């Protein structure tokens, strides 16, 4: 395994309890990082932290927060910085999709989508960036989606994820002079393995988000015609976050979707 030099680094991962976030926690754990897992699902988060410690994490602290409000985001990132004496990497993984045709989408739904996708990314990033600027180093990786390309049923979510991409380019420009890098991963469909989704995961709400046929049809639209695992996304996050592999990479978006989207 390549040493990506996270051994003495504090990595804060939002929505880290299940599915993609859990895969990202596992990947940083195997690199001996000091992990802060921010989530609302206490039971699932504690289980994921235990897995992280078994995989070799230097530490794994769970911080409970409701990331659907600016106040919740700002308070928990400040707490993470205070408790750990700093922050080296912020992974804005928390996000939420609610597929539906635009004409049946309510203002309440798009307000929730805004708070959980773009607002949370802005609030967590701004809080972390104040610290990163002062220390002249830091790294942010945010999760967007290939839905940002304009996908039926995902107009609001896609627009907000396109906002994550634009926001990331802007902060990469604004904070590059302080040696802070910021990049985006755009996953295709990543279904949790059995038991991997927590209570508050979008995939575990007792309702089908996508049918098996829709999932397979979606896989078939990609060049590789197979599904993406949380570990596939996590490896791309490690790549962007490490100064070993991506020292000169900033403001970029990488689709990890089996070639569903080729810019």
Ligand X SMILES: NC(=O)c1ccc[n+]([C@@H]2O[C@H](COP(=O)([O-])OP(=O)(O)OC[C@H]3O[C@@H](n4cnc5c(N)ncnc54)[C@H](O)[C@@H]3O)[C@@H](O)[C@H]2O)c1
List residues near ligand X by CB under 6 A.
Answer: 15, 17-21, 39-41, 44, 65-68, 93-95, 97, 143, 145, 187, 189-190, 192, 197-198, 200-203
Contacts made by residues 147-150, CB under 8 angstroms, sequence distance 24+: 147/97, 148/186, 149/261
Which residue is closest to ligand X by CB? Answer: 95
User: What b/e sequence results for 81-114 when a residue is b if at least 16 CB atoms lie within 10 Å of its CB, and e otherwise?
Assistant: beebebbbbbbbbbbbbbbbeeeebeeeebeebb
Q: How far is the CB of 210 from ligand X (least distance, A)?
A: 9
Residues 6+ positions from 141 with CB-CB distance below 8 Å: 89, 90, 91, 92, 182, 183, 184, 185, 237, 240, 241
In order, the DSSP letters of 72-99 are: HHHHHHHHHHHHHT--SEEEE-------
Q: In the bound complex, what is the minimum distance in angstroms from residue 18's beta carbon to ligand X?
A: 4
d(CA 211, CA 183): 31
- Please, what is the minimum distance in Å from the beta carbon of residue 176 to ligand X? 24
Q: Closer CB to ligand X, residue 32 or residue 92?
A: 92
Cβ proximity to ligand X: between 15 and 138 the closer is 15
* Minimum distance, C-beta of residue 92 to ligand X, in the bound complex (Å): 7
CB-wise, 178 or 239, nearer to ligand X?
239
Nearer to ligand X, 61 or 137 (CB): 61
Q: Which of 37, 186, 215 is nearest to 117 (CA)?
A: 186
| Closer CB to ligand X, 82 or 199, in the complex | 199
Q: How far is the CB of 31 from ligand X (least distance, A)?
A: 20
| Nearest approach, Cβ of residue 213 and ligand X (Å) | 16
Q: Pick between residue 211 and residue 248 the one whose CB is nearest to ligand X.
A: 211
């Amino acid at each position: 395994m390549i040493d990506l030099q996270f051994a003495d680094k504090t990595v804060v991962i939002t929505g880290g309890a299940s599915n993609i976030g859990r895969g990202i926690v596992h990947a940083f754990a195997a690199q001996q990082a000091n992990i802060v897992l921010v989530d609302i699902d206490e039971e699932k988060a504690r289980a994921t932290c235990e897995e992280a410690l078994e995989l070799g994490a230097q530490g794994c602290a769970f911080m409970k927060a409701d990331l659907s409000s600016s106040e919740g985001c700002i308070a928990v990132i400040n707490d993470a910085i205070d408790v750990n004496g700093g922050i080296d990497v912020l992974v804005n993984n928390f996000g939420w999709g609610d597929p539906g045709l635009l004409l049946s989408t309510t203002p309440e739904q798009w307000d929730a989508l805004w708070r959980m996708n773009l607002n949370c990314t802005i609030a967590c990033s701004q809080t972390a960036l104040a610290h990163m600027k002062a220390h002249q180093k830091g790294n942010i990786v945010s999760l967007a989606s290939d839905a940002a390309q304009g996908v039926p049923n995902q107009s609001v979510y896609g627009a907000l994820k396109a906002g994550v991409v634009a926001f990331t380019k802007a902060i990469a420009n604004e904070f590059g002079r302080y040696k802070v890098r910021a990049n985006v991963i755009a996953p295709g469909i990543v279904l949790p393995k059995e038991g991997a989704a927590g209570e508050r995961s979008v995939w575990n709400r007792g309702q089908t988000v996508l049918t098996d046929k829709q999932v397979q049809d979606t896989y078939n639209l990609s060049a590789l015609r197979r599904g993406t695992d949380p570990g596939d996304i996590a490896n791309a996050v490690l790549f962007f976050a490490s100064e070993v592999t991506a020292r000169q990479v900033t403001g970029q978006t990488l689709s990890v979707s089996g070639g569903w989207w080729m810019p």
